Amino acid sequence: MFVQILTILLVGLYMVEIQKEPVDELEALEEAGNEDELGAFVPVKAEKGESTPDFSSAIHPFLNSIFPVLSIDRELRILYANSACQRLFTGYLNMVGNYFFDVFGKSFEVEAVRNIRNTIIKGQNGYSWKGDARIKFKDMVTVLARVYLFAADLSGKDPGEFVIMFDDVTEENKRLLRSVYMSLLEASKLKDNDTGRHIVRVNYYSRRLAEALHHKAGYDQIDADFIDHIGFLASMHDVGKIGTPDDILNKEGPLNDWEWTIMKEHTKNGAFILSTYPNPMAKEIALSHHERWNGTGYPFQLEGEMIPLSARIVSIADVYDALRMKRSYKPPFSHEKTIREIEKARETQFDPTLVNMFLCISGDFNAIYEENRD
Ligand SMILES: [Fe+2]
Ligand SMILES: [Fe+2]
């Protein structure tokens, strides 16, 4: 009899424990979205919109910190975000009052999401976690951040507030990555007959044209990341010339058929060299910047929109600059003459819609050329 009672009691206690299992409870609550049922957790101060933290909040010491910091409660609801945080995530207004994973859910790997939940609810690793996030909000360049999460106060049984600190490593990562490819570009420039600041100007024109297309109908793929990437990767268009023999690259006068065949290989060589670059745009530009709208370009005679948008943009930027420059086979063209040449090649060489946009902003192309003369 005593054993039966003890068993019933133990099973009963176990059931109570299971019912209290925070992860399950949290998930059920999140699904239910019922404010009343959240009463089992610490009280929620946050309401959607701006908030001013009181002095007892863990975020208070970080209010004017240069580090983006926010605080959440045990339900993973955002309580406060300091001004550095608001500045970093300008694409997301009013994060306060929202659930952390409703705002940042897509920024973490599945394993990280699980660990963050277990850290907060089960106290895994002494209520602390660190990891990486790729945070992308509308109209914002993707932010790469090292994320640190820790309990604000461990003196009680279960901490009620947690601090999340973001270390923005976007620029650091970008600088490191781009410096490697810049070295490659410098090496290729030693061989190429494109002189001086050609590649810098092609970056600027391409960026400008992409900016002008941003938010225009039919150009959904152009966002802040696209603009940022093309503004660097356009300069890589001829990196494959590092594999082109010098006598062909620097030949005075026209190339014969065989030499042209070798010359055209620079597109495929460039794509091969840039295949390790994390963004596929690098490869697209190198491979397709000599394709033509009417399908007569190289290396694959792609036609129309089969040619990647990034390559269609760089193609106009590259030709504009090449025409403006003095080459061994031609004098420098004026801005007006260059415009006429590009207009003539609308629908044969270039995407006609892009040419229209180019014509609208051609004054900026001229300014970029003048400001960055060799
Ligand atoms: Fe090229
Ligand atoms: Fe070029």
Beta strands in the chain (DSSP E): 69-73, 78-81, 128-135, 143-151, 161-168
Query: How many angstroms separate the alpha carbon of residue 193 from the centre of ligand 2?
Result: 9
Predicted TM-score of the model (pTM): 0.80
- What is the pLDDT of the chain when averaged over all its residues? 85
Q: Which ligand is nearest to the CA of 269?
A: 1
Structure confidence by residue, pLDDT tens digits, 10-62: 434 333 333 333 344 444 434 433 333 333 333 334 455 455 666 567 777 78
Identify whether 241 is a catalytic site residue: yes
Q: What is the distance, to the nearest Å, from the Cα of residue 41 to the centroid of all Cα atoms in its chain?
A: 37
Say what percent of the chain tops pLDDT 70.
Answer: 83
Based on DSSP, count helices (H) and strands (E) in the chain, helices before strands: 16, 5
Residue 159: band (very low, low, confident or very high) from pLDDT cuts 50, 70, 90:
confident
45: burial class by Cβ within 10 Å (0-12, 13-18, 19+)? middle
Query: How many angstroms separate the alpha carbon of residue 237 from the centre of ligand 2?
Result: 7
Is a pLDDT exceeding 60 seen at residue 152?
yes
Query: How many angstroms separate the alpha carbon of residue 241 from the centre of ligand 1?
Result: 8
Residue 188: band (very low, low, confident or very high) from pLDDT cuts 50, 70, 90:
confident
Structural domains in the chain plus CATH codes: 22-168 (3.30.450.20), 172-371 (1.10.3210.10)
Query: How many angstroms separate the alpha carbon of residue 268 from the centre of ligand 1?
Result: 10
Considering 45, 136, 241, 283, which one is annotated as catalytic? 241
Say what percent of the chain tops pLDDT 90.
Answer: 66
Structure confidence by residue, pLDDT tens digits, 201-257: 999 999 999 999 999 999 999 999 999 999 999 999 999 999 999 999 888 888 999
Q: Which ligand is nearest to the CA of 290?
A: 1
Query: How many angstroms separate the alpha carbon of residue 315 from the centre of ligand 2?
Result: 9
Is a pLDDT exceeding 50 seen at residue 111?
yes
- Arithmetic mean of pLDDT, 267-287: 97
| Per-residue pLDDT at 30 | 42
Handedness of CA 81, 83, 85, 86 (dihedral sign): positive
- Residue of 19 and 295 predicted with greater confidence: 295
Beta strands in 4-105 (DSSP E): 69-73, 78-81
Most confident of 91-100, 283-292, 327-336: 283-292
| Per-residue pLDDT at 195 | 67
Amino acid at 365: F
Question: Can you give the three-state secondary structure of 263-276, one letter per residue?
Answer: HHHHHHHHHHHHHH
Nearest to 82 by CA among 53, 49, 108, 54: 53
Residue 360: band (very low, low, confident or very high) from pLDDT cuts 50, 70, 90:
very high
Q: How far apart are CA 126 and CA 155, in angstroms?
A: 12
Residue 309: band (very low, low, confident or very high) from pLDDT cuts 50, 70, 90:
very high
| Per-residue pLDDT at 53 | 60
Q: Which ligand is nearest to the CA of 291?
A: 1
Nearest 10 degrees: Cα torsion 221, 235, 358, 339: -160
